[in-house]
Amino acid sequence: MLRRLASLPLRRPAAAPLAAGVRCISSGSVEITVPLNFWAGKRRTGPEKCSKDSVYEPATGRVLCQLEPCGAVEVDQAVKAAKLAFGYWSKMSGMERARVMIEAAHIIESNREEIAEMEVVNNGKSITEARLDVDSARLCIEYYAGLASTLAGQHVQLPGGSFAYTRREPLGICVGIGAWNYPFQIAAWKSAPALACGNSMVFKPSPVTPVTAVMLAEIYAKAGVPEGLFNVVQGGQETGSLLCQHPDVAKVSFTGSVPTGQKIMEMASKGVKPVTLELGGKSPLLIFKDSDLENAVRGALMANFLSQGQVCSNGTRVFVQKDIMPEFVKEVVKRTQAIEIGDPLLESTRMGALVSRPHLDKVLSFVDRAKKEGATVLCGGEPYVPSDPKLRGGYYMTPCVLGNCTDDMICVKEEIFGPVMSVLPFETEDEVLQRANDTSLGLAAGVFTRDVRRAHRVVEHLKAGSCFINNYNITPVEVPFGGFKMSGIGRENGQVTIEFYSQLKTVFVEMGDVDSLF
Protein backbone atom coordinates (compact mmCIF):
# COMPACT_ATOMS: atom_id res chain seq x y z
CA MET A 1 0.00 0.00 0.00
CA LEU A 2 1.44 3.29 -1.07
CA ARG A 3 0.67 6.97 -1.12
CA ARG A 4 2.05 9.62 -3.45
CA LEU A 5 5.28 10.92 -1.94
CA ALA A 6 7.25 12.40 -4.81
CA SER A 7 5.63 15.81 -4.42
CA LEU A 8 5.96 15.92 -0.62
CA PRO A 9 9.19 17.66 0.46
CA LEU A 10 10.64 16.44 3.72
CA ARG A 11 10.30 18.96 6.50
CA ARG A 12 13.86 18.38 7.68
CA PRO A 13 16.32 18.54 4.77
CA ALA A 14 19.09 17.03 6.91
CA ALA A 15 17.28 13.69 6.84
CA ALA A 16 16.98 13.61 3.04
CA PRO A 17 20.39 12.07 2.22
CA LEU A 18 19.34 8.89 4.03
CA ALA A 19 16.89 8.21 1.20
CA ALA A 20 19.79 7.92 -1.21
CA GLY A 21 20.50 4.48 0.16
CA VAL A 22 23.41 4.76 2.54
CA ARG A 23 23.61 1.18 3.82
CA CYS A 24 24.11 0.76 7.55
CA ILE A 25 23.48 -2.99 7.53
CA SER A 26 23.43 -5.84 5.02
CA SER A 27 21.34 -8.99 4.69
CA GLY A 28 22.63 -11.73 6.95
CA SER A 29 24.56 -9.37 9.24
CA VAL A 30 21.93 -8.59 11.88
CA GLU A 31 21.38 -10.47 15.12
CA ILE A 32 18.88 -9.10 17.62
CA THR A 33 19.45 -9.86 21.29
CA VAL A 34 17.56 -7.03 23.03
CA PRO A 35 14.10 -7.75 24.52
CA LEU A 36 11.17 -7.16 22.17
CA ASN A 37 8.47 -6.62 24.77
CA PHE A 38 7.88 -3.06 25.96
CA TRP A 39 5.66 -1.62 28.66
CA ALA A 40 5.77 1.11 31.30
CA GLY A 41 8.39 2.99 29.31
CA LYS A 42 11.08 0.37 28.65
CA ARG A 43 11.90 -2.96 27.04
CA ARG A 44 11.02 -6.00 29.13
CA THR A 45 12.11 -9.62 29.14
CA GLY A 46 9.47 -12.29 28.96
CA PRO A 47 8.68 -14.88 31.62
CA GLU A 48 11.75 -16.81 32.75
CA LYS A 49 10.39 -20.27 31.96
CA CYS A 50 8.62 -19.46 28.71
CA SER A 51 9.41 -21.40 25.55
CA LYS A 52 11.03 -19.08 23.03
CA ASP A 53 10.16 -19.05 19.32
CA SER A 54 12.68 -18.47 16.55
CA VAL A 55 12.16 -15.47 14.27
CA TYR A 56 13.74 -15.70 10.81
CA GLU A 57 15.24 -13.25 8.35
CA PRO A 58 13.31 -13.88 5.11
CA ALA A 59 16.16 -12.76 2.84
CA THR A 60 18.56 -15.41 4.16
CA GLY A 61 16.47 -17.93 6.09
CA ARG A 62 18.73 -17.54 9.12
CA VAL A 63 17.49 -17.06 12.69
CA LEU A 64 17.22 -13.36 13.44
CA CYS A 65 16.20 -13.48 17.10
CA GLN A 66 14.24 -15.37 19.73
CA LEU A 67 10.71 -14.30 20.57
CA GLU A 68 9.58 -14.35 24.19
CA PRO A 69 5.77 -14.67 24.16
CA CYS A 70 3.83 -12.94 26.92
CA GLY A 71 1.51 -14.85 29.21
CA ALA A 72 -1.27 -13.69 31.51
CA VAL A 73 1.06 -12.00 34.00
CA GLU A 74 2.89 -9.96 31.38
CA VAL A 75 -0.31 -9.00 29.55
CA ASP A 76 -1.79 -7.80 32.81
CA GLN A 77 1.32 -5.74 33.58
CA ALA A 78 1.12 -4.08 30.16
CA VAL A 79 -2.59 -3.35 30.56
CA LYS A 80 -2.01 -1.87 34.02
CA ALA A 81 0.70 0.38 32.61
CA ALA A 82 -1.70 1.47 29.85
CA LYS A 83 -4.42 2.15 32.43
CA LEU A 84 -2.14 4.36 34.49
CA ALA A 85 -0.95 6.29 31.41
CA PHE A 86 -4.52 6.75 30.21
CA GLY A 87 -5.31 8.66 33.38
CA TYR A 88 -2.70 11.30 32.47
CA TRP A 89 -3.02 11.35 28.69
CA SER A 90 -6.83 11.57 28.56
CA LYS A 91 -6.77 14.71 30.72
CA MET A 92 -4.39 16.53 28.40
CA SER A 93 -5.83 18.93 25.84
CA GLY A 94 -5.87 17.93 22.20
CA MET A 95 -3.21 20.53 21.48
CA GLU A 96 -0.93 19.08 24.16
CA ARG A 97 -1.34 15.57 22.75
CA ALA A 98 -0.69 16.91 19.26
CA ARG A 99 2.67 18.42 20.26
CA VAL A 100 3.90 15.04 21.54
CA MET A 101 2.66 13.21 18.44
CA ILE A 102 4.33 15.69 16.12
CA GLU A 103 7.59 15.16 17.99
CA ALA A 104 7.20 11.39 17.44
CA ALA A 105 6.75 12.07 13.72
CA HIS A 106 9.94 14.16 13.73
CA ILE A 107 11.86 11.29 15.34
CA ILE A 108 10.55 8.85 12.74
CA GLU A 109 11.63 11.17 9.95
CA SER A 110 15.11 11.53 11.42
CA ASN A 111 15.47 7.76 11.76
CA ARG A 112 13.75 6.81 8.51
CA GLU A 113 16.57 4.71 7.09
CA GLU A 114 17.26 2.75 10.28
CA ILE A 115 13.58 1.87 10.69
CA ALA A 116 13.24 0.93 7.02
CA GLU A 117 16.29 -1.32 7.17
CA MET A 118 14.99 -3.20 10.19
CA GLU A 119 11.62 -3.58 8.46
CA VAL A 120 13.38 -5.15 5.50
CA VAL A 121 15.45 -7.48 7.68
CA ASN A 122 12.37 -8.72 9.52
CA ASN A 123 9.82 -8.70 6.68
CA GLY A 124 11.75 -9.29 3.44
CA LYS A 125 10.26 -6.49 1.31
CA SER A 126 12.47 -4.18 -0.74
CA ILE A 127 14.13 -1.21 0.92
CA THR A 128 12.37 1.07 -1.60
CA GLU A 129 8.96 -0.06 -0.35
CA ALA A 130 10.02 -0.09 3.30
CA ARG A 131 10.96 3.59 3.13
CA LEU A 132 7.50 4.44 1.81
CA ASP A 133 5.93 2.40 4.64
CA VAL A 134 7.89 4.42 7.19
CA ASP A 135 6.78 7.61 5.48
CA SER A 136 3.16 6.45 5.65
CA ALA A 137 3.53 5.80 9.38
CA ARG A 138 4.96 9.27 9.94
CA LEU A 139 2.28 10.95 7.85
CA CYS A 140 -0.45 9.08 9.73
CA ILE A 141 0.85 10.31 13.08
CA GLU A 142 1.12 13.86 11.72
CA TYR A 143 -2.41 13.69 10.32
CA TYR A 144 -4.01 12.58 13.58
CA ALA A 145 -1.92 15.05 15.55
CA GLY A 146 -3.64 17.67 13.43
CA LEU A 147 -7.06 16.26 14.30
CA ALA A 148 -6.39 15.91 18.04
CA SER A 149 -7.25 19.52 18.82
CA THR A 150 -10.39 19.51 16.66
CA LEU A 151 -12.33 16.87 18.61
CA ALA A 152 -15.53 18.53 19.69
CA GLY A 153 -19.17 17.94 20.53
CA GLN A 154 -22.41 19.63 19.54
CA HIS A 155 -24.66 22.18 21.24
CA VAL A 156 -28.42 21.71 20.87
CA GLN A 157 -30.81 24.46 21.98
CA LEU A 158 -34.00 23.16 23.65
CA PRO A 159 -37.28 24.87 24.66
CA GLY A 160 -37.38 27.17 27.67
CA GLY A 161 -33.71 28.03 27.56
CA SER A 162 -32.63 24.46 28.33
CA PHE A 163 -30.02 22.88 26.15
CA ALA A 164 -28.04 19.72 25.54
CA TYR A 165 -24.51 19.12 24.41
CA THR A 166 -22.39 16.16 23.41
CA ARG A 167 -18.85 15.28 24.45
CA ARG A 168 -16.52 13.12 22.39
CA GLU A 169 -14.56 11.11 24.93
CA PRO A 170 -11.82 8.46 24.68
CA LEU A 171 -12.66 4.78 25.07
CA GLY A 172 -9.81 3.88 27.43
CA ILE A 173 -7.31 1.10 26.76
CA CYS A 174 -7.29 -0.02 23.13
CA VAL A 175 -5.67 -3.20 21.85
CA GLY A 176 -4.02 -3.25 18.44
CA ILE A 177 -3.15 -6.56 16.80
CA GLY A 178 -0.95 -6.20 13.73
CA ALA A 179 -0.15 -8.25 10.63
CA TRP A 180 3.24 -9.25 9.29
CA ASN A 181 3.03 -7.56 5.88
CA TYR A 182 3.26 -3.94 7.14
CA PRO A 183 4.60 -4.22 10.71
CA PHE A 184 5.67 -0.63 11.41
CA GLN A 185 3.01 1.04 9.30
CA ILE A 186 0.13 -0.89 10.87
CA ALA A 187 1.39 -0.11 14.38
CA ALA A 188 1.25 3.60 13.48
CA TRP A 189 -2.08 3.35 11.66
CA LYS A 190 -3.68 1.87 14.77
CA SER A 191 -1.93 3.89 17.46
CA ALA A 192 -2.16 7.36 15.88
CA PRO A 193 -5.96 7.75 15.94
CA ALA A 194 -6.17 6.00 19.30
CA LEU A 195 -3.66 8.37 20.90
CA ALA A 196 -5.13 11.45 19.22
CA CYS A 197 -8.49 10.66 20.87
CA GLY A 198 -6.87 10.35 24.31
CA ASN A 199 -6.66 6.55 24.55
CA SER A 200 -3.72 4.37 25.49
CA MET A 201 -2.78 1.20 23.59
CA VAL A 202 -1.33 -2.26 24.05
CA PHE A 203 -0.09 -3.51 20.68
CA LYS A 204 0.68 -7.09 19.70
CA PRO A 205 2.68 -7.49 16.47
CA SER A 206 2.63 -10.66 14.42
CA PRO A 207 5.05 -13.19 15.95
CA VAL A 208 6.61 -13.49 12.49
CA THR A 209 7.63 -9.80 12.42
CA PRO A 210 8.08 -8.60 16.02
CA VAL A 211 10.98 -6.17 15.62
CA THR A 212 9.85 -2.72 14.49
CA ALA A 213 6.74 -2.21 16.65
CA VAL A 214 8.98 -1.91 19.70
CA MET A 215 10.99 0.73 17.83
CA LEU A 216 7.76 2.73 17.53
CA ALA A 217 7.20 2.29 21.28
CA GLU A 218 10.64 3.74 21.97
CA ILE A 219 9.94 6.62 19.59
CA TYR A 220 6.71 7.51 21.40
CA ALA A 221 8.55 7.33 24.72
CA LYS A 222 11.33 9.59 23.47
CA ALA A 223 8.71 12.03 22.16
CA GLY A 224 7.34 12.42 25.68
CA VAL A 225 4.23 10.29 26.05
CA PRO A 226 3.44 9.12 29.61
CA GLU A 227 5.09 5.82 30.50
CA GLY A 228 2.76 3.01 29.48
CA LEU A 229 0.81 4.93 26.85
CA PHE A 230 1.95 2.64 24.01
CA ASN A 231 3.04 -0.85 24.99
CA VAL A 232 4.15 -3.87 22.95
CA VAL A 233 3.52 -7.46 24.00
CA GLN A 234 4.83 -10.29 21.86
CA GLY A 235 3.20 -13.62 21.26
CA GLY A 236 0.77 -15.60 19.17
CA GLN A 237 -2.81 -16.73 19.54
CA GLU A 238 -2.71 -17.19 23.32
CA THR A 239 -1.35 -13.67 23.91
CA GLY A 240 -3.93 -12.21 21.56
CA SER A 241 -6.74 -14.02 23.36
CA LEU A 242 -5.56 -12.72 26.73
CA LEU A 243 -5.63 -9.17 25.37
CA CYS A 244 -9.08 -9.48 23.80
CA GLN A 245 -10.60 -10.92 26.95
CA HIS A 246 -8.91 -8.64 29.48
CA PRO A 247 -11.64 -6.84 31.46
CA ASP A 248 -9.84 -3.47 31.34
CA VAL A 249 -9.57 -3.42 27.53
CA ALA A 250 -12.18 -1.19 25.88
CA LYS A 251 -11.61 -1.88 22.17
CA VAL A 252 -9.77 -4.23 19.81
CA SER A 253 -8.43 -3.32 16.37
CA PHE A 254 -7.14 -6.23 14.27
CA THR A 255 -5.53 -6.62 10.86
CA GLY A 256 -5.23 -10.14 9.49
CA SER A 257 -7.14 -13.13 8.17
CA VAL A 258 -10.90 -13.61 8.14
CA PRO A 259 -10.91 -16.71 10.42
CA THR A 260 -8.80 -14.96 13.07
CA GLY A 261 -10.95 -11.84 12.76
CA GLN A 262 -14.05 -13.90 13.41
CA LYS A 263 -12.50 -15.35 16.57
CA ILE A 264 -11.49 -11.90 17.80
CA MET A 265 -14.98 -10.57 17.16
CA GLU A 266 -16.44 -13.47 19.13
CA MET A 267 -14.11 -12.90 22.08
CA ALA A 268 -14.73 -9.15 22.09
CA SER A 269 -18.49 -9.69 21.96
CA LYS A 270 -18.45 -11.32 25.38
CA GLY A 271 -17.37 -7.99 26.83
CA VAL A 272 -19.46 -6.01 24.31
CA LYS A 273 -16.26 -4.38 23.11
CA PRO A 274 -16.19 -2.55 19.78
CA VAL A 275 -13.86 -3.95 17.14
CA THR A 276 -12.19 -2.68 14.00
CA LEU A 277 -11.40 -5.53 11.62
CA GLU A 278 -9.31 -5.12 8.48
CA LEU A 279 -9.40 -8.58 6.97
CA GLY A 280 -8.65 -10.37 3.72
CA GLY A 281 -9.57 -9.67 0.13
CA LYS A 282 -9.85 -11.22 -3.30
CA SER A 283 -10.24 -7.99 -5.14
CA PRO A 284 -11.19 -7.46 -8.79
CA LEU A 285 -9.42 -5.13 -11.21
CA LEU A 286 -11.49 -4.31 -14.30
CA ILE A 287 -9.66 -3.16 -17.43
CA PHE A 288 -11.86 -1.92 -20.28
CA LYS A 289 -10.77 -1.77 -23.92
CA ASP A 290 -10.71 2.04 -23.94
CA SER A 291 -8.15 2.15 -21.12
CA ASP A 292 -4.76 3.76 -21.45
CA LEU A 293 -2.95 0.46 -21.86
CA GLU A 294 0.34 1.65 -20.37
CA ASN A 295 -1.37 2.82 -17.19
CA ALA A 296 -3.52 -0.30 -17.05
CA VAL A 297 -0.42 -2.51 -17.17
CA ARG A 298 1.29 -0.43 -14.49
CA GLY A 299 -1.86 -0.60 -12.37
CA ALA A 300 -2.08 -4.38 -12.69
CA LEU A 301 1.54 -4.76 -11.60
CA MET A 302 0.97 -2.45 -8.63
CA ALA A 303 -2.20 -4.38 -7.81
CA ASN A 304 -0.37 -7.71 -7.61
CA PHE A 305 3.33 -7.46 -6.85
CA LEU A 306 3.81 -4.89 -4.09
CA SER A 307 5.41 -6.50 -1.04
CA GLN A 308 5.84 -9.78 -2.94
CA GLY A 309 2.05 -9.88 -3.44
CA GLN A 310 1.47 -9.97 0.31
CA VAL A 311 -1.10 -7.15 0.41
CA CYS A 312 -4.69 -7.67 1.53
CA SER A 313 -6.13 -5.18 -0.96
CA ASN A 314 -4.36 -6.62 -4.02
CA GLY A 315 -6.41 -6.82 -7.21
CA THR A 316 -5.49 -10.40 -8.01
CA ARG A 317 -8.52 -11.07 -10.23
CA VAL A 318 -7.61 -9.04 -13.31
CA PHE A 319 -10.57 -8.90 -15.68
CA VAL A 320 -9.54 -7.71 -19.16
CA GLN A 321 -11.95 -6.91 -21.99
CA LYS A 322 -11.41 -9.46 -24.77
CA ASP A 323 -10.53 -6.91 -27.44
CA ILE A 324 -7.28 -5.94 -25.69
CA MET A 325 -6.52 -9.22 -23.94
CA PRO A 326 -3.61 -10.38 -26.17
CA GLU A 327 -1.83 -7.01 -26.10
CA PHE A 328 -2.37 -6.59 -22.36
CA VAL A 329 -1.15 -10.08 -21.47
CA LYS A 330 1.93 -9.72 -23.67
CA GLU A 331 2.97 -6.50 -21.96
CA VAL A 332 2.16 -7.70 -18.42
CA VAL A 333 4.20 -10.87 -18.89
CA LYS A 334 7.11 -8.88 -20.34
CA ARG A 335 7.12 -6.45 -17.38
CA THR A 336 6.66 -9.23 -14.82
CA GLN A 337 9.63 -11.17 -16.17
CA ALA A 338 11.74 -8.03 -15.88
CA ILE A 339 11.09 -7.57 -12.15
CA GLU A 340 14.44 -7.79 -10.36
CA ILE A 341 14.35 -10.32 -7.52
CA GLY A 342 17.00 -10.58 -4.85
CA ASP A 343 18.57 -8.95 -1.82
CA PRO A 344 15.85 -6.64 -0.45
CA LEU A 345 18.45 -4.23 0.92
CA LEU A 346 19.81 -3.45 -2.56
CA GLU A 347 18.47 -0.33 -4.27
CA SER A 348 17.93 -2.18 -7.56
CA THR A 349 15.73 -4.91 -6.06
CA ARG A 350 12.02 -4.63 -6.77
CA MET A 351 10.91 -7.94 -5.25
CA GLY A 352 12.40 -9.31 -2.06
CA ALA A 353 11.65 -12.48 -0.13
CA LEU A 354 8.29 -13.78 1.03
CA VAL A 355 7.85 -13.61 4.78
CA SER A 356 8.46 -17.26 5.75
CA ARG A 357 9.22 -20.71 4.39
CA PRO A 358 5.73 -22.10 5.19
CA HIS A 359 4.11 -19.13 3.46
CA LEU A 360 6.32 -19.53 0.38
CA ASP A 361 5.37 -23.20 0.19
CA LYS A 362 1.70 -22.29 0.50
CA VAL A 363 1.86 -19.75 -2.34
CA LEU A 364 3.71 -22.20 -4.60
CA SER A 365 1.06 -24.85 -3.84
CA PHE A 366 -1.61 -22.47 -5.15
CA VAL A 367 0.29 -22.26 -8.46
CA ASP A 368 0.53 -26.05 -8.65
CA ARG A 369 -3.20 -26.35 -7.95
CA ALA A 370 -3.98 -23.78 -10.64
CA LYS A 371 -2.05 -25.79 -13.22
CA LYS A 372 -3.95 -28.94 -12.27
CA GLU A 373 -7.24 -27.09 -12.69
CA GLY A 374 -6.31 -25.99 -16.21
CA ALA A 375 -4.73 -22.56 -15.77
CA THR A 376 -1.71 -21.70 -17.89
CA VAL A 377 1.41 -20.35 -16.23
CA LEU A 378 2.40 -17.48 -18.54
CA CYS A 379 5.47 -16.70 -16.46
CA GLY A 380 6.98 -17.31 -13.04
CA GLY A 381 5.48 -19.29 -10.21
CA GLU A 382 8.69 -21.11 -9.33
CA PRO A 383 11.15 -21.02 -6.42
CA TYR A 384 13.98 -18.59 -7.03
CA VAL A 385 17.52 -19.03 -5.75
CA PRO A 386 19.67 -15.86 -5.84
CA SER A 387 23.29 -16.13 -6.97
CA ASP A 388 24.57 -14.59 -3.71
CA PRO A 389 25.44 -17.56 -1.44
CA LYS A 390 24.20 -15.83 1.71
CA LEU A 391 20.71 -15.50 0.17
CA ARG A 392 20.28 -19.10 -0.96
CA GLY A 393 18.31 -20.04 2.14
CA GLY A 394 15.87 -17.16 1.61
CA TYR A 395 12.21 -17.40 0.69
CA TYR A 396 12.09 -16.23 -2.93
CA MET A 397 9.87 -17.02 -5.89
CA THR A 398 9.39 -15.62 -9.38
CA PRO A 399 6.28 -13.44 -9.79
CA CYS A 400 3.56 -15.37 -11.60
CA VAL A 401 0.91 -14.54 -14.20
CA LEU A 402 -1.81 -17.14 -14.76
CA GLY A 403 -3.81 -17.27 -17.99
CA ASN A 404 -6.71 -19.42 -19.14
CA CYS A 405 -8.35 -18.86 -15.74
CA THR A 406 -12.03 -19.38 -14.94
CA ASP A 407 -14.10 -18.04 -12.08
CA ASP A 408 -14.47 -21.44 -10.39
CA MET A 409 -10.72 -22.07 -9.97
CA ILE A 410 -9.20 -21.99 -6.50
CA CYS A 411 -6.60 -19.43 -7.63
CA VAL A 412 -9.46 -17.09 -8.56
CA LYS A 413 -11.69 -17.75 -5.56
CA GLU A 414 -9.26 -17.86 -2.62
CA GLU A 415 -6.79 -15.30 -1.31
CA ILE A 416 -3.27 -16.46 -2.19
CA PHE A 417 -1.37 -13.59 -0.56
CA GLY A 418 1.60 -13.92 -2.85
CA PRO A 419 2.88 -12.67 -6.23
CA VAL A 420 0.28 -14.49 -8.34
CA MET A 421 -1.93 -12.64 -10.85
CA SER A 422 -4.95 -14.35 -12.42
CA VAL A 423 -6.04 -12.87 -15.76
CA LEU A 424 -9.63 -13.43 -16.93
CA PRO A 425 -11.39 -12.22 -20.11
CA PHE A 426 -14.77 -10.47 -20.18
CA GLU A 427 -17.05 -9.01 -22.83
CA THR A 428 -19.64 -6.67 -21.30
CA GLU A 429 -19.87 -4.30 -18.36
CA ASP A 430 -22.86 -6.05 -16.82
CA GLU A 431 -21.16 -9.41 -17.08
CA VAL A 432 -17.92 -8.33 -15.44
CA LEU A 433 -19.71 -6.55 -12.60
CA GLN A 434 -21.63 -9.70 -11.74
CA ARG A 435 -18.43 -11.75 -11.80
CA ALA A 436 -16.41 -9.16 -9.87
CA ASN A 437 -18.95 -9.09 -7.03
CA ASP A 438 -19.31 -12.87 -6.84
CA THR A 439 -17.23 -13.22 -3.67
CA SER A 440 -17.82 -13.10 0.08
CA LEU A 441 -15.00 -10.55 0.38
CA GLY A 442 -15.10 -6.87 -0.47
CA LEU A 443 -11.95 -5.07 0.58
CA ALA A 444 -10.97 -3.31 -2.65
CA ALA A 445 -11.68 -3.03 -6.37
CA GLY A 446 -10.41 -1.06 -9.33
CA VAL A 447 -11.39 0.03 -12.83
CA PHE A 448 -9.35 1.36 -15.75
CA THR A 449 -11.22 3.26 -18.45
CA ARG A 450 -11.12 6.61 -20.25
CA ASP A 451 -14.91 6.91 -20.00
CA VAL A 452 -15.54 8.98 -16.87
CA ARG A 453 -19.24 8.07 -16.80
CA ARG A 454 -18.46 4.37 -16.99
CA ALA A 455 -15.81 4.71 -14.29
CA HIS A 456 -18.21 6.18 -11.74
CA ARG A 457 -21.06 3.89 -12.82
CA VAL A 458 -18.90 0.79 -12.36
CA VAL A 459 -17.52 1.94 -9.00
CA GLU A 460 -21.07 2.54 -7.77
CA HIS A 461 -21.90 -1.11 -8.41
CA LEU A 462 -18.69 -2.66 -7.10
CA LYS A 463 -19.26 -4.15 -3.65
CA ALA A 464 -15.99 -3.10 -2.06
CA GLY A 465 -14.97 -0.59 0.58
CA SER A 466 -11.90 0.88 -1.13
CA CYS A 467 -12.16 1.50 -4.88
CA PHE A 468 -9.68 2.91 -7.39
CA ILE A 469 -10.24 4.59 -10.75
CA ASN A 470 -7.25 4.48 -13.12
CA ASN A 471 -4.82 3.59 -10.34
CA TYR A 472 -4.44 0.94 -7.63
CA ASN A 473 -3.09 0.42 -4.10
CA ILE A 474 -2.73 4.12 -3.34
CA THR A 475 -3.59 4.74 0.32
CA PRO A 476 -3.27 8.35 1.49
CA VAL A 477 -3.67 8.57 5.24
CA GLU A 478 -6.30 11.30 4.82
CA VAL A 479 -8.67 8.78 3.18
CA PRO A 480 -10.56 5.98 5.00
CA PHE A 481 -9.46 2.42 4.21
CA GLY A 482 -11.52 -0.69 4.90
CA GLY A 483 -13.83 -3.29 3.43
CA PHE A 484 -17.36 -4.50 2.84
CA LYS A 485 -18.82 -7.93 3.59
CA MET A 486 -16.35 -10.36 5.22
CA SER A 487 -13.40 -8.06 4.58
CA GLY A 488 -14.00 -6.22 7.80
CA ILE A 489 -15.74 -3.72 10.04
CA GLY A 490 -14.81 -0.09 10.60
CA ARG A 491 -12.14 1.96 8.89
CA GLU A 492 -8.52 2.94 9.29
CA ASN A 493 -7.23 6.40 8.38
CA GLY A 494 -9.25 9.45 7.49
CA GLN A 495 -11.34 11.64 9.75
CA VAL A 496 -14.06 9.02 10.22
CA THR A 497 -11.67 6.78 12.19
CA ILE A 498 -11.94 9.21 15.11
CA GLU A 499 -15.45 7.81 15.62
CA PHE A 500 -14.03 4.29 16.05
CA TYR A 501 -11.63 5.37 18.83
CA SER A 502 -13.98 7.56 20.82
CA GLN A 503 -17.48 7.52 22.31
CA LEU A 504 -20.21 10.12 22.45
CA LYS A 505 -21.71 11.32 25.71
CA THR A 506 -24.94 13.35 25.71
CA VAL A 507 -25.55 15.89 28.50
CA PHE A 508 -28.99 17.46 29.12
CA VAL A 509 -29.06 20.79 31.01
CA GLU A 510 -32.37 21.96 32.53
CA MET A 511 -32.54 25.74 33.00
CA GLY A 512 -36.03 25.78 34.55
CA ASP A 513 -38.04 23.69 36.99
CA VAL A 514 -38.68 19.97 36.67
CA ASP A 515 -42.04 19.29 35.00
CA SER A 516 -43.07 16.17 36.89
CA LEU A 517 -46.02 13.88 36.25
CA PHE A 518 -46.00 12.80 39.89
State pLDDT tens for residues 225-279.
999 999 999 999 999 999 999 999 999 999 999 999 999 999 999 999 999 999 9
- Residue 13 confidence (pLDDT) above 70: no
Which tens digit of pLDDT belongs to each residue from 436-470? Answer: 999 999 999 999 999 999 999 999 999 999 999 99
Q: CA 428 → CA 6, 425, 438, distances in Å?
A: 37, 10, 16
* pLDDT of amino acid 12: 36
**Confidence (pLDDT) at 382:** 98
- Is the pLDDT reported for residue 39 higher than 80? yes
Q: Given a cut of 70, is residue 134 above it in pLDDT? A: yes
Which pLDDT belongs to residue 28?
Answer: 85
Identify the residue with better confidence: 152 or 28: 152
Going along 208-327, which residue ranges are E strands? 230-232, 249-255, 275-278, 284-287, 317-321
**CA 78, 83, 85, 90 torsion: positive or negative?**
positive
Give the single-character DSSP code of 474: B
Three-state DSSP class for 372? helix
- Tell me the mean pLDDT in the region 314-343: 98
Whether 294 sits among the annotated catalytic residues: the reply is: no
The pLDDT > 90 percentage for the chain reads 93
97 Cβ neighbours under 8 A, 6+ residues apart: 89, 145, 148, 195, 196, 198
Per residue in 312-321, pLDDT (tens digit) is 999 999 999 9
pLDDT of residue 46: 75
What's residue 2's pLDDT?
54
Query: Tell me: the pLDDT tens digits for 370-394?
Result: 999 999 999 999 999 999 999 999 9
Catalytic residue among 68, 142, 278, 429: 278
Torsion of CA 205, 6, 195, 182, to 10 degrees: -10
CATH number attached to the domain at 284-487: 3.40.309.10
C-alpha span between 250 and 198 (Å, rounded): 13
* Tens-place pLDDT, residues 44-82: 987 767 789 999 999 999 999 999 999 999 999 999 999
pLDDT over 90 (residue 22):
no
**Which residues of the chain are in CATH 3.40.605.10 domains?**
37-279
- Domain boundaries 37-279, corresponding CATH code: 3.40.605.10
Residues of the chain with CATH 3.40.309.10: 284-487
SS3 of residue 121 by DSSP: helix
Look at residue 16 and tell me whether its pLDDT is greater than 50: no
Whether residue 19 is predicted with pLDDT greater than 70 in this model: the reply is no
| Alpha-helical runs (H) found in 24-126 | 72-89, 94-110, 112-123
The pLDDT of residue 5 is: 37
pLDDT given for residue 50 in this prediction:
77
When pLDDT is cut at 50, 70 and 90, the band that residue 1 belongs to is low
Mean pLDDT of the region 296-308:
98
pLDDT at 8 over 70: no
The rounded distance, in Å, linking the Cα atoms of 301 and 125 is: 16
Question: With b meaning 16 or more CB within 10 Å and e meaning fewer, what string describes 115-152?
Answer: bbbbbbbbbbbbbbbbbbbbbbbbbbbbbbbebbeebe
Please check whether residue 445 is in contact with residue 287, taking contact to mean a CB–CB distance below 8 angstroms.
Answer: no
Average of per-residue pLDDT values in the chain: 94
Q: Which pLDDT belongs to residue 14?
A: 36
Per residue in 176-215, pLDDT (tens digit) is 999 999 999 999 999 999 999 999 999 999 999 999 999 9
CA atoms within 13 A on the CB side of 60: 19
> In the chain, pLDDT over 70 holds for what percent of residues?
95
- pLDDT for the residue numbered 25: 87
List the end-to-end C-alpha distance of the chain, in Å, as a whole number: 62
Mean pLDDT throughout 305-334?
98
494-516 pLDDT, tens digit per residue, is: 999 999 999 999 999 999 999 99
